[in-house]
Amino acid sequence: GRAGAAPSTGVLAYFAALGVGYIMIEVVLLQRFQLYLGHPTWSLVVTLFALLVFSGVGSALAQRLTGRDGRLPLGGAVAGALAASAVSVLAVPAVMDLVVGSALGVRIATAIALLAVPGMAMGMPFPLGLRMVGGSAPDALPWVWAINAAASVVGSVGAFAAAMAGG
């Protein structure tokens, strides 16, 4: 079917921020794990695998979340995702230093463990936002999917450009 009226600017900004934010964190983590795992291919496979699996777990968990007042805990999910991502990005180097000399399997398992919590937290804001939009303006759902996808593409280009400029 055709998309209905575009949602509010705030809703579009929320889904755009999710797309840009997720991909930027993903790119940072890909770069962090590249040297640790010994090859860019290992970094790509392990990081994408772990983030996608654990984001899916977070998404499934988000479907069960509702506040005491019946509202969706959207703000808490976003704050949790930001906090978990920041802690992960900051903690990864310290943990890597502890196991950097270990066998590849140990390093892969450690990388997956390091990505579990931020992956789950990062998987919650999108489905909660979809539920909110779907409950109040279901015709706007194609718009939020589209803006999120476009923002992910723009964010990935921006993240790589920023990484190259920043070294």
Tens of pLDDT, residue by residue over 2-20, are 556 778 899 999 999 999 9
Report residue 142 as tokens: 């194609």
**Average pLDDT along the chain:** 87
Instruction: List Cβ neighbours of 91 (8 Å cut-off, separation of 6 or more).
Output: 114
Instruction: List Cβ neighbours of 137 (8 Å cut-off, separation of 6 or more).
Output: 4, 5, 7
For residue 151, what pLDDT is reported?
Answer: 95
H or E segment and range at residue 121: helix 104-122
Transcribe 50-93 into DSSP letters. HHHHHHHHHHHHHTT---TTS---HHHHHHHHHHHHHHHHHHHH
Contact 52, 118 (CB under 8 A): no
Question: Is the predicted pLDDT of residue 82 greater than 90, yes or no?
Answer: no
For residue 15, what pLDDT is reported?
Answer: 95
For residue 165, give the amino acid letter. Answer: A
Q: Cα 46 from chain centroid?
A: 15
The pLDDT tens digits of the residues spanning 55-79 come to 999 999 988 876 665 566 778 888 8
Mean pLDDT in residue range 141-166: 88
Q: What's the CA dihedral at 25, 30, 32, 34 to 10 degrees?
A: 180
For residue 151, give the amino acid letter. Answer: A
